[in-house]
Chain A
């Protein structure tokens, strides 16, 4: 319950003020949500994918802190033009580096953004009804963290007697 100083990088502030690829994508081939309002942290990640599995466009919607908005936005830029396999391999640490470094208490924002992106990729293949060899069967670190954050918020909300919308 103690507070941590949050010296955000200029890049985070810039992306917070002028987020790129913001908004719902009506013609998305797949989208996914990570986090929930009870966490205070929630991202929707949309993907437009070409025939040969290259990401043509990505966009996002976000409920969360400045770091959440900035990491989601930068990730939509990072995946553009990449194959789904290449996008899948982006780690939260690369996202953190790309925004000029996240304060340690905000690592989970980068993790959640990658978690949302990977869920969207899984959703894409689910809709296509196929499973490429490289797609891990088990959920990865970033996906697991997103899941644990969602479950922790539910548990805390239950214990304290508040309610969760998840």
Chain B
């Protein structure tokens, strides 16, 4: 089996490195890391439920962090913020917790077909316990088909989960309309949204949207990994999905990770402190990257919508006659780090379910590359990325050759 050390060495001295794989992980910027560091060993290292100074410091730090995050999503009660180890855990808590609590009222769950796997696979698991999942289709840009939603929503629905912004193709979903339709047909239904790709980039207010549950994630706004949160509207009750020692978090047992919670709040403050400026910067770089690819290379297809209906950070393009995994390797050797919806990066043959849902053919999905820009990226970064993509695509297309034709 391969020697990863050799693989890393093979990259040699890179003249520039541009990380764009913010879908899958993120470095923690120095300014956020600095806020976190004292919480590892200088202050608030106690358990927040215990009666000593380091414990009370932790309690204070966690409460302050919850207050800040609550204010950024339009919640007035910090108790509505429930910290979890991430987006996956928050989504599991939301769906399993709501379904179990309401199983006597009905068994029907509504989701869109482009939800992340931490929604779709949880639904599949719930089906083994007697729940039924109904998938609502999307159009060719990834927007939920609201007419189909009207037909599929009925009194049997106990739970609906629709993402605010699609993580793969950046579609900003008509969430307000979806909530209205579901609540109109089934007033008792719980409405959850995975807002991980909206938070910090697309305006999102739980009060205005009238959602019951909302997932947000730290690393997607350049905070540390291993921390996320589930907003639970006051009065909405969920079954716990893990048991043990509960502390400040009423729905998630175990010792609170104060440095990560503080880092999540600090990253949120940075994202929201100059929200409009950050968004404008990201959207400009996004469009520069998209138009540079589409105008500079033949055989390219943008996945997802353009302009204001797309998240400001998201770029997803399919390159024909290029397989996505080899593109990620080829770009890595040039210091550009991206991910692909190709099946070759996965265990089975099927490529990204989101790209198939918007009608992309298999060979189009296999050649897809997902990139996200941040407020830290510069024009020079994007120009370097464009140059690297042109070189990488041209080399892989040379290997494709005539393919016997």
Q: B404 in the interface, Cβ–Cβ < 8 Å? A: yes
Across the two chains, which residue of chain B brings its CB closest to A46? B404
Instruction: Report yes or no: A1 in contact with B353, Cβ–Cβ below 8 A.
Output: yes
Instruction: Report yes or no: B404 in contact with A101, Cβ–Cβ below 8 A.
Output: no
Instruction: Report yes or no: B347 in contact with A38, Cβ–Cβ below 8 A.
Output: no
If A10-B7, A61-B403, A63-B403 touch, does A2 touch B363 (CB 8 Å cutoff)? no
State which of A7, A40, A163 has its C-beta within 8 Å of the C-beta of B342. A40
Instruction: Report yes or no: B362 in contact with A153, Cβ–Cβ below 8 A.
Output: yes
Q: A81 in the interface, Cβ–Cβ < 8 Å? A: no
Instruction: Report yes or no: A37 in contact with B347, Cβ–Cβ below 8 A.
Output: no
State which of A19, A62, A101 has its C-beta within 8 Å of the C-beta of B2. A101
Instruction: Report yes or no: B326 in contact with A16, Cβ–Cβ below 8 A.
Output: yes
Q: A24 in the interface, Cβ–Cβ < 8 Å? A: yes
Q: B359 in the interface, Cβ–Cβ < 8 Å? A: yes
Instruction: Report yes or no: A3 in contact with B345, Cβ–Cβ below 8 A.
Output: yes
Chain B's nearest CB lies how many Å from the CB of A25? 10
Instruction: Report yes or no: B403 in contact with A42, Cβ–Cβ below 8 A.
Output: yes
In the complex, what residues of B have CB within 8 A of residue A32's CB?
404
- Report how far A143 CA is from B357 CA in the complex, Å: 32
Residue interface mask B312-349, A partner, CB < 8 A = 1: 00000000011111100110010000000011111111
Instruction: Report yes or no: B404 in contact with A1, Cβ–Cβ below 8 A.
Output: no
In the complex, what residues of A have CB within 8 A of residue B323's CB?
40-41, 63-65, 68
Instruction: Report yes or no: A40 in contact with B347, Cβ–Cβ below 8 A.
Output: no
Instruction: Report yes or no: A164 in contact with B6, Cβ–Cβ below 8 A.
Output: no
Across the two chains, which residue of chain B brings its CB closest to A62? B399
If A7-B1, A40-B344, A157-B362 touch, does A24 touch B117 (CB 8 Å cutoff)? no
If A13-B7, A40-B342, A156-B349 touch, does A162 touch B403 (CB 8 Å cutoff)? no
State which of A13, A23, A39, A163 has its C-beta within 8 Å of the C-beta of B401. A23
In the complex, what residues of A have CB within 8 A of residue B348's CB?
1
If A13-B7, A40-B362, A162-B356 touch, does A153 touch B400 (CB 8 Å cutoff)? no
B-side interface residues, number (CB < 8 Å): 44
If A7-B4, A24-B401 touch, does A2 touch B343 (CB 8 Å cutoff)? no
Instruction: Report yes or no: A37 in contact with B7, Cβ–Cβ below 8 A.
Output: no
Chain A's nearest CB lies how many Å from the CB of B366? 4
In the complex, what residues of A have CB within 8 A of residue B2's CB?
6-10, 12, 100-101, 103
Q: DSSP class of A's interface residues: helix, strand, loop or mixed?
A: mixed
State which of B1, B322, B325, B401 has its C-beta within 8 Å of the C-beta of A61. B401
**Restricting to B242-290, which residues have a CB under 8 Å from any CB of A?**
none
- Report how far A42 CA is from B400 CA in the complex, Å: 9
- Report how far A101 CA is from B326 CA in the complex, Å: 18
Instruction: Report yes or no: B7 in contact with A7, Cβ–Cβ below 8 A.
Output: yes
In the complex, what residues of B have CB within 8 A of residue A152's CB?
349
Instruction: Report yes or no: A66 in contact with B3, Cβ–Cβ below 8 A.
Output: no
State which of B121, B333, B366 has its C-beta within 8 Å of the C-beta of A40. B366
- Report how far A4 CA is from B350 CA in the complex, Å: 14
- Report how far A153 CA is from B325 CA in the complex, Å: 18
- Report how far A24 CA is from B344 CA in the complex, Å: 24
Across the two chains, which residue of chain B brings its CB closest to A100? B2
State which of B117, B121, B362, B404 has its C-beta within 8 Å of the C-beta of A44. B404
If A38-B362, A156-B362, A157-B362 touch, does A66 touch B7 (CB 8 Å cutoff)? no
Instruction: Report yes or no: A69 in contact with B399, Cβ–Cβ below 8 A.
Output: yes
Q: B101 in the interface, Cβ–Cβ < 8 Å? A: no
Across the two chains, which residue of chain A brings its CB closest to B351? A40
Chain A's nearest CB lies how many Å from the CB of B345? 6
In the complex, what residues of B have CB within 8 A of residue A42's CB?
403
Instruction: Report yes or no: B10 in contact with A10, Cβ–Cβ below 8 A.
Output: yes
If A38-B363, A162-B356, A164-B361 touch, does A61 touch B402 (CB 8 Å cutoff)? yes
**Restricting to A19-72, which residues have a CB under 8 Å from any CB of B?**
19, 22-24, 31-33, 37-42, 44, 61-66, 68-69
Chain A's nearest CB lies how many Å from the CB of B111? 16
In the complex, what residues of B have CB within 8 A of residue A68's CB?
323, 326, 344
Instruction: Report yes or no: A24 in contact with B326, Cβ–Cβ below 8 A.
Output: no
If A61-B403, A65-B326 touch, does A156 touch B350 (CB 8 Å cutoff)? yes
In the complex, what residues of A have CB within 8 A of residue B64's CB?
none
In the complex, what residues of B have CB within 8 A of residue A163's CB?
361
Write the residues of chain A forming the contact surface with B, with a CB cutoff of 8 angstroms.
1-4, 6-10, 12-14, 16-17, 19, 22-24, 31-33, 37-42, 44, 61-66, 68-69, 100-101, 103, 105, 149, 152-153, 156-157, 160-165
Write the residues of chain B forming the contact surface with A, with a CB cutoff of 8 angstroms.
1-4, 6-7, 10, 117, 121, 321-326, 329-330, 333, 342-351, 353, 356, 359-363, 365-366, 398-404
Would you mind naming 15 contact pairs between A and B with Cβ atoms under 8 Å apart? A1-B117, A6-B345, A7-B7, A13-B10, A22-B401, A32-B404, A39-B349, A40-B323, A40-B344, A44-B403, A44-B404, A62-B399, A103-B2, A162-B360, A164-B361
- 7 cross-chain pairs, A with B, having the tightest CB-CB distances, nearest first: A37-B363, A40-B366, A61-B401, A38-B362, A7-B2, A65-B325, A10-B6
